[in-house]
Structure 1
Amino acid sequence: MAAGMTGAGTRKGGLMAQVRVRRIYDEREGDDGQRVLVDRLWPRGISKEKVHLDEWCKEVAPSTDLRKWYGHDPDRYEEFARRYRAELKDAEHAAAFGGLRERAEHGPVTLLTAAKRSDISEAAVLADLLKGGAGE
């Protein structure tokens, strides 16, 4: 499996479809399934036509304050993930996350981010939650 991607997982109640995390700048792969951008801001230097998105779910992205505080500092990732999971419980975030969960229950989903390190991005937190990880 390529770096920066997470594989299949299970969840209470049965098998969860494969959930991947990839950078939006990576080439599309045949087994990506539904491709969902989970960043609040549109990535620089990318045309909407080129990325082959099924959805841009900016409502599920971390708040601007949390995103700016985090700044993708690896030393802050654990605290970022904790705070982001808390944000995902508010009404707007919860509704958007529910839509992602529904997509993932019906087939492969690739969560896309422009972050340089997708393994410490909001997409990684979302993938963990979709696969039934801690904090759900």
Structure 2
Amino acid sequence: MMLFTEVRGLPVVPPGGAGPLGTVTSLTIDVVTGSVSHVWWRGGRFGRQSALPWDAVGAVGPGAVRVRSGDAPASAPPHHELLGRRILTDTGTGRGTVLDVAFDTRSARLLALFTTRGELPADRLLGLGDYALVVRAG
């Protein structure tokens, strides 16, 4: 298990362990599956941002995100930053903001959301957009 805030800033290391490709800036989640779908990183000569699908990640640990495949994805889904996002229930009640997210580094499954109002189980996620993260009330 790791937290999103622990992954942010880790080097992204290519196959063969050559110099890092860049540094992790964020993680994209798929609300339907309740898992991390992409790792976003910034690097290279011009510091451009790139996305890596989770299935191309070999390992995530306290020292680095190791890439299994050197293939660059053709496209990535729209990214909505989860950390700092407002939380609303499906009935419209505010539930604070997201402080951090715990996830399983092997399966990419989200385990829990840590919010300004306590912990929320990841299975309560319903949607994520530009305005808010929507969770099931109750």
Specify if TM > 0.5: no
Normalising by the smaller structure, the TM-score range is: under 0.3
Judging by fraction of residues, say which structure has more strand. 2
Relative contact order, higher structure (CA 8 A, sep 6+): 1
Judging by fraction of residues, say which structure has more helix. 1
> Which structure has the bigger radius of gyration?
2
